[in-house]
Each structure stands twice: as structure tokens, then as C-alpha cells.
Structure 1
């Protein structure tokens, strides 16, 4: 298979010398603002010197992610050595990582030109997500493949390696273009398809005549299209009156079929084979009541690999597509797996494996004989991995009887009732899964906190009915799930309901702000990372290429009825109810949730004489990707948590 790339008020400075929650000053002092490099600290106290090395023990963990196979049998991986994740080549299992790229900005993803050791990668500037794609080889140097000033993604190559295909969109536009570019003459580009909405190339046939394309509408609706590259005519692969969500898809080598995941006729994504001629569907795997994902087809079309998402845990399956028989299956430890890809000869399957106690590494599976081989061994920093905890999967009942899953990370020993951090994922079309998270492990071991990671309604991985439970006017029901979790915490003898912090990013940032308004007397603190504070202003100001995609999930602010609901539920309109101390973290160049969303909530909450810390990175976008910025975020977050939990803010002194 030809792969595509992916993938202000200061808090009180006096700490009570008790285990009770910190008494936070609720009156305003003149906010203090200081700049350190690209970081702006607004109302944030100085970080105690002894706090930094304690946190840094966990901040030096790094993982390796599989990118692609090279023609000589070596692999291309991404890993961090220094400030950002860059590309490295690994010649053999356990061999040294030879660094290939050396940029201040992280590499977004990479793919190898078939039959060569040349490769292409994407890179943006300052987190703005206007990705450019570059061609390079193992000796260095790069050539731009894409047009400056455009956003480019979903790169793939023809089987002969002569043509590259990718998706392009211009600033402020919602019309996407599929571009074909000459690999040997990178300046030569042509538009092969143009359409309203989010279009991407998915695969190209072995003869180079047919391009499989995807049109993404929402998490619950997408379309697969077939483009005849000789005539320019496009048609939908399987038009229906209902909504279908298509996932990973590949053309078979003969171009007659598409192997894909689809939720048509099922609550979950199933593995199917679709006829290109008439769109007829043949199921390849029985309905498992779990999503099939990460589908990978070998270049000769004989082997098929995929993962099944079972309650957040990944199980990898391999089978012979021609005989339909199962081949030896890798037995993986508890965790997550992704990045599946067969070697060009089809004998070996590569994957990236992450567990709660290992930071993510590249492994390969011998398809015929079985056996896992580890290619990389990434460091977890100067921390004993035996101290890492594996989460327990629990379920709690929400206000309407819905069973909501959550992963719970607990200290090995809890003395009395432990403080709690609820971390809420973004999306909402996403799912928290039990991979490696050094932040969780540090909170558990250094703060003695219990970390609870719920998958509230609207999360993926639990069926399309579950995904739809928070759509449009149902948005506030997901906030009620957090209320039910707070009820559950109060029933647990080892958890302290008076010391609970909600923490989340992007849509999770909306969730924590909404929870702050809904449950002000039940929260000790709130951490909002690049969060939505007002749906109307968010939809008006998010980048044009994604505005309609977000309207499909959240609702359309131009509809008077929906706008009225937004006015009722947007946290910016509810700041008079927010009494818990607030930490806001934002990237200045965020194209998804603009900086204005953070600054309007900071201003409004401070207007009620409530404490707010604000950390702004001038060289980041939707989340901090540079290590020094991410470290600073961890330091500020830890200081905030220590204050609101009533813990010593200076570990060396024991109290402050």
C-alpha cells in the first residue's frame, strides 16, 4: 500500500501548612506580566527553582514513531533529540538513530518515495499549520514540492514514484484542491480535482490511472470517490441516502476493489471490500461491536493487517486476504498500537507500540513465522519505569443512566484521600487511550494525585450512537457527564471531592470552562488549554478551511435557534458563575482555536475579580510542540496544581 502522511490576578503566594485545599485570593491585584523568550507569563508567579528539576525527570522521556520503510530495508522514524521531533534513519533493529533533519520546527510526518531512499516530509512555521511539503534524501538538502502560502497534507506517491498527490487549501477558503506534482520537476503541479469541503487523496492504483479520494464532512459522514486521472471524471464509490463514515481505505493492486472501514449498517466501523465497478460491499470481518481501524494492505494485495479498538486498547490482526485465513497474531502488551505498514516484500509488519510504562517504540512482526522484534528503545528519562502505574478502566453512570468509561491512574499507596485531576480530551471526536503519558505519571508520583481520564459522550471508539449524543443542542449533556463523575468521586473513600481540578485542551478546554460554570463549588481549580470560550466567536474566527467541518459537529451559529443555544452554553457568557482559580494556556498562532478565545475568557473572569494565570507562547499554535515551551507549561501547571491542592510549592523547602 502507498502510505499517506499523517499523521490578571495572581494566585495567593502564601500556602497553608495543611493538607486542606489552598485558600486562593479572590481579589485582584495588579496583574504582573513578564516575557521570557517566546513565552509571556501574565499573572503567573515565579517558578520555584527546586520545582524544575523534579518535573524535568519526567520531561526528558521521548518516543519513536514509525514513518516508512526505505528501499534498502532500513526504516524512517520520528523522534526528539533536542527541542523538536525530527526524522532519523535506523538501519537495523537496535542500530543507531542517524538524524536526517535538523529544524527548529517539528516535522509533521514523512513518507518514502517508492523504490528509493528519498523521502518527503511536511513542516509548518510557529504552529500555524500551513504545512509545506519538501523532498529530501539521506544526504541532506530539501526541495519544496508545494506552493508557498498554502496548506498541504495527505501526501502519497504513485507506485513508480514519479508523481506525488496531495491536498491543498488556500487561506480563508473552504474549497480544497487535489494536486498532482512531478517528483523530478517539483515546480510542475496541476490540479486534478477541486471541490467544496475537505478533500484528500487516499490511494492511487498500480497503473496510475485511478485516484481514490475522500471527502470528509464530519466524524459521522464522509464519502469515497474514484477519479479517472485520464479523463478527469470523478464519481462517488458508493452513493447512499444515509450517512456513512469511511475510515482507512486502499485500492487493491488490480484496481477493482477498495478495502476500507465503514459503519454502514452498524454502530461500529467494520472492515469491508467494495467493488469499484458497482459499489457492492462484502464484509471481511464480522461485526465486533468495536471499531476496526489502522487498515494496511501489502503492496501485492495478499496480506491485510488492522487493529481493533477494544475499549481503548489496541489488538493487531493479520490475515491472508486471498485465502481469508488468519495468520499468526502479535500478542501485544496493554497499550496502543498504530502506524501499521508492511515492508515492500510483505514479509514484515512495522508498528509503533506505546504502553503506560514505555514511551513508544518501533517494532516489527514476522508475518509468516511470528515473533516481535524491537527496532528502537526510547528513554523514559531518569525515572524508574517500575514506578509507572497502569490505569484501571472503570465506568460510572451519568444523569440519564448512560455508562461512561474512564481510565483511572492511582498512586500505588494513597495516604488518606487523594486530590484528583480530571483530564478531558479534545475533539470531541477523539478518545483517550492508555498509551504513555509522562504528565499523568508525574502527577501521580510527585503530587500523589489520582488522574481520571473520561471518555464522555461524543467520544469515538464506542459506536456512532455514542458519538452523536452531544451533537448540536445536546452539547451540555457531555458537561453533565462531568457532573456525574464528580458525584462518583464523592463516593470513593480514597478520593478527596474537595480537591478536584479539571484539565483539558481544545474542545476539552471548552469542557473545563463549562464545568467551571456548572460546578463552581465542586472544583478546586481549572486548567484550560487552547479551549473554546464562545462557540459563536470561535466559529467566526477559526480558519476558513475548517469552519464548515466544525459547524457540522457543533452546530451553525448562523441559525438563530442554534445561536440562542450557543448564547446559553458558551462559557464566556457564564463567567459570573466561575469562582475556581483558572489557568489558561494558549499558542499565539493557533489556527483552530484562535488566541482571541483565550484572551476574552481571561479578561472576563478577571473582570469579576477572580484569579487567572495566563501563559502565552508566541511561537506555537494549537498546543505546545517545542520542548522548552512544553516544559514551561508543565512547570506552570504543576505550580498551579500544588497551590490549589494545598501542597508545598517549593519541594526543597517543604513549604512556602
Structure 2
């Protein structure tokens, strides 16, 4: 008995002397990842506790805002009655969800998936309970309310899982659900209902460079194409004005997207005045048609302007911090709601008074007790690539007083590939800059949006794909020459297409990188195209190439990182979601196995309850802490 007690005491003493480890979430498999010290989590804690608020729309009865924010493990819907008022939670689900009120404010429609699988279902939400409207199996997307609040239009893959058809439903009576139009392929969506309720606008997205717009008769389902055949062009954000005029943003006749009107008789007619070197990102039309609110994307920075649709002239200038704006919606009483983020502020809900142009912040999201205003602002960096093309990105450097001399650098590449890195809030990444003294650079390689349709098309297909990887080489040359960057301590990271770029850059420029952390990454373009969800496969073939074509298949295999996995010699951390419908988890598994077979160390984090990126806080925390441990071992030694 004494021996048993002694052995138990020794075990207890050993346990007490062993540093505590941060718990691995139940849904995560951490393969090859060392134990993460609890002390690291304790040190980082304030940076793990920042949150954000996304404007979802106006509730017209009480004139309150609907927002999404997180107080538990995933973002939920809340109402905010007035600027600075309490956030009143109204949804209590395990999964994140989005919502939109009917124009009369009587019905809240939400969409939600399971574990990030993106097979969204539509529901109504009342008194904390969801009522299912769709079939519970297919992907149902893009719900749009009619102006009389009696009908919702949406797109669904219900028929065969691949093609996207159009449906109508009265949410008050799910039995009214009916197919309006049976269509071929993906990329179809409802855009807006006409004021008279007889027709609607339907968009067909083929690629970032090509979309078509149709008017559909809601009684017969007959569609009429509104844009003339010809050179492919982007057409986005189609909306009816109160008089039935159709407004869109398009790059028809221009390298950048402009605001204009479109119809079968006159085609696209630009109405915005002023210089045309930047895209119009999005717009919203006042109920009375007196003004249009729009955002211009000026080298990544959003600029909110109000436009007189009759003259094309702008009204004044809305004073806002340099950052990013999204989700514009004009309330029936005229106030403009949106989400805004900047280096010194997490994403929060704002409004602008159209008469005074005064901006008001409705929510002030917590940043773990840290003063977000002290965060370092990014600087725009430009470089000339191998073919003299100008490319740019945003560099955030540590405080030179606190961290003098040359600093390590992480290059973080966006996905898409049509995405764009913009100067928003860095969130947890601020810990790298503020506490570890690591500089972070967000490049916009060729193929990024925001710089015109010529630029966005420069990486199309398998034969030009690696030109974007060569752009990273140009940034390496430019950044390594700076007096505040340590060329001997540089790492690369990226997600989705940026994950492909992460692999590819680590292979091509392996002698210049210390490590690579690649998230939900494409490792083989052929297996990616064969295994991505069927409803999006053809859309991705337009961008990357068609693996069914023998010549393109060979080219896709040649540029795939998996083909050259033996050349990837730097330590690797791979993160993926088990339910990812875009880049299947098999893309991560095959790459991890290949690099390990060559003797390259590889950590692998797989979350069974996540999709294309982690959205649940416990998983996000573990991913970030593991990544910190990875950088400490590979970049900061």
C-alpha cells in the first residue's frame, strides 16, 4: 500500500513539474505538431480575444441594425438599437450564420451551413428558433427579398448537385417553393426584384472577367439577356432603381469597373464622372432614387462617395479612416449602413447621414483590452517584376524604437486568385508585429483584382500561372534590400490559392525562405479540379485550365507543387478543414505525405468541423498558437 501511495506521489510530482499544454480542440487532429505550452496562450491571451462586428442590414420597424458578432465560439446575429447601444443576441446556433430582414421588417431570413461545408440552407428565425425552408441537403445561396416582402428568390443545386437552378418561395408558407428556371452550370444568382414585382434580374458569373445579366419574367421563367454579346466583361451588383432603371458596375469599354445603367436598347451607359483608374467596388440606391452610395477601391483603400444619378456628380467627401468598407445598404429613411475596418480598428458597423455626410460608429468591438489605435499602419510597397510589370502590396513593420535593426519578415499571400490584399485590421497578426517584431507583407501579385481587367487576367490558365509566383521573387528582391528587413529570416504563408502560392514560392525560392505555412492549399491542380465540388468545377476550370484537355492536364501537372514536392526543403505547417468543399482535405494529405517522404519536417492540422478556413474560435486559437510555435522554431531562432 505504501509503495502504491509512493508511486502515486511521484507521478503527481512529475505531473506538477511538467509544463501544462494548451488543450487540442476535440475536432482537431494535430499530426506532428508538438505540444503547445499553456504559457504561450497565457502570454498571447489579449490578442486571442479581439472580436469584430459585421453590418448585416437594417431592421426597418425599430430602425435598428442587424449585425453579426461573436461572444461564444462562433459569430451570431445581434440587434443594435442605436449607436453605442448594447448588442442584443437573437441567434444561438453552433454554426455561424448570416441574416437579412424583409423590407417590411416582419421576417428575418437566415442562411447556415454545417461545419463549413457551404451547403447552405435557408431558414426563418423567430424567438431564437430556426424554421427550415429548403431541402436540408443541397446548396442554396444568394437569397433576395422582393420589395413587397412576400417572395424570396434564391439559387439551388437541388436538382442534380451540379447545375444551379432558380427558385421562388414565400417564407410564410414553405409549400409555395417552386422552381422558376432550370439552368445549366453554376454561377447563377438572383440579383434584385423589379419595383413592380413582375420581373427580376439574374446574373450568370463565369469568371472574374466575364458575367452576363438577364431579366427574368417571374410568371413564365422566360429570360432576356441585357448585355450585348461580344467581348467578355465583368457585370456586378445589378439593382433596379425606383423607376425601373437598371444599375450595374461593369468594365465594359474600360479597364476598371464603373457605375452605369444597362438595358437591351442602349447597352451599358457609364454615369459616374471623374477619373477611371480605380474600380467601383459596390453601390446602393436610395429608396427615392435621390442618391447612390458607392465605394471606390483606391489602391486597396475604400473611399465612400455619394453620387447624384442624374448628373453623375459627387456630393462632398465622407471623412473616414483609411481602411476597407463593405456591405453597403441604405435604410428607408436614408442612412447608409456598412462595415468598416482599418489598421487601428477591427471591423465594426457604421452609418453615414446622407445630408450631413457625418459618419457614426455603431459598434466598438473589443480588442482584448489592447489599444488598437497603437497598431502600426501599413505602407504601400511597389516593385518591378521579371517582365517589368509593376506589382504592389502592403507592408506593416514593427516599431523601430522597440525593435531596431533588421527584422524578420513573413510574406502572406491572398487567395482567390482574384482576391486583393487591402489595409484592414490584422487581428491576431498584430501580435507578430507588436510583440515579436516581425514585419508582415501582403502582396498583390498579377491576377489580383482591383487593378483593372488587364492585370487580373495576366495569370489565367496553366501557361501563365507561374508568372504570379515570379512576382514573389521580385518582392523578395525589393524587400530584402530594405535596411529594416533581415534577408536571412523570411517565411511565406497563404491560404487557398494563396496556399498554392505558398507551396510554389517555397519550392522556387526555397533558398530564400526559412519556413512555409500553407492553409487550405491547392497542391495538385488536376486532383483539385477532379475533387472540388461539382457545382464549382467548371468555374475553376475557366481560371486554372481544363484537366480534361490532354495538353492542359500535362501543363497543370507540371506547375503543381506536388510534382516538385522533393524540392520543398523548408519546414512546413499545413492547415486544412475536413469539410472544405473548395479545396478538399486530400490536397493537404498528399502534400504532407510527399514532403515527409523526402525528410522535410511537416506539421499538419486538420479540423473535422471546419471548411475553407477556420471560423470557430477554439480552432482559430489552436491554429494561431501552433503557428506561433512554428515561427518561433523556424523564423525567430
Task: Give the TM bin, normalised by the shorter chain.
Answer: over 0.9
Normalising by structure 1, report the TM-score: 0.91
- Distance in 1 between the 2:627 and 2:359 partners? 38
Q: C-alpha deviations, 1:526-570, integer Å up to 9, x for none?
A: 001000000000000000000000000001111112112112110
Residues 34-43 or 569-578, more deviating? 34-43
Distance 2:159 2:467 in 1: 34
SS state of the match for residue 203, structure 1?
Answer: strand
Q: Which of 448, 453, 475 is the equivalent residue of 1:459?
A: 448
> Structure 2: where are the runs of 5+ without partners?
1-22
Measure how far apart 1:491 and its partner are: 1.1
Among 393, 399, 409, the alignment partner of 2:396 is 409
Task: Please state if 1:262 is matched with 2:243.
Answer: no
- Alpha carbons of 1:287 and 1:231: their partners in 2 closer, same or farther (altered >3 Å)? farther
Contact 2:168-2:180 within 8 A present in 1 as well: yes
Contact 2:225–2:264 (8 Å) recurs in 1: no
Structure 1 position 331 matched with structure 2 position 319:
yes
Q: Which runs of 5+ in 1 are unaligned?
A: 1-33, 648-656
Partner of 1:227: 216
- Aligned counterparts, 1:87-486, within 5 A: 87-107=77-97, 109-137=98-126, 139-170=127-158, 173-197=161-185, 198-255=187-244, 257-275=245-263, 277-279=265-267, 281-346=269-334, 348-413=335-400, 414-472=403-461, 473-486=463-476
Alignment partner, residue 38 of structure 1: 27
Q: Deviations over 1:373-417 (max 9, x none)?
A: 221111111222243100001101111111111100000123332
Could you tell me how far apart the structure 2 residues matched to 1:165 and 1:369 are? 35
- For the 8 Å contact 1:171–1:543, the answer to whether it is kept is no
Change (3 A) 1:195 1:415: same
1:631 correspondence with 2:618: no
Q: CA RMSD in A?
A: 1.5
In 2, the alpha carbon distance for the partners of 1:604 and 1:401 equals 35
SS at 2:304 equivalent: strand
Alpha-carbon distance in 1 for matches of 2:493, 2:221? 48
1:571-617 Cα distance to aligned partner (Å, 9 max, x none): 00101111000000011110000000000000000111110000110
Q: Which residue is equivalent to 1:650?
A: none
- CA distance in 2 between partners of 1:326 and 1:212 (Å): 27
State the 1:282 CA deviation: 4.2
CA-to-aligned-CA distance 1:467-507 (integer Å, 9 cap, x gap): 01111110000000111111122211221111111000000
Indicate the SS of the match to 1:594: coil
- 1:190-212 deviations in Å (ceiling 9; x for gaps): 11112123100000011110110
* SS at structure 2 position matched to 1:533: coil
> Contact 1:258 / 1:276 at 8 angstroms: preserved in 2?
no
2:273, 2:313 within 8 Å by CA — same for their partners in 1? no
Give the deviation of 1:281 after TM superposition.
2.5
Paired with 2:44 and 2:175, the residues of 1 have a C-alpha distance of: 47
Name the CA shift for 1:282/1:462 in 2 (closer, same or farther; >3 Å): closer
Note the alpha carbon deviations across 1:232-263, whole angstroms, 9 max, x for none. 210110122110101211012232x2111000
Larger relative contact order (CA 8 Å, sep ≥ 6): 1
CA contact (8 A) 2:412 2:440 kept: yes
Q: Which aligned runs of 4 or more in structure 1 are off by greater than 4 angstroms?
A: none
Match of 2:12 in 1: none
Q: Deviations over 1:79-99 (max 9, x none)?
A: 111111100011111111100
2:373 and 2:557 mapped to 1: Cα distance? Answer: 49
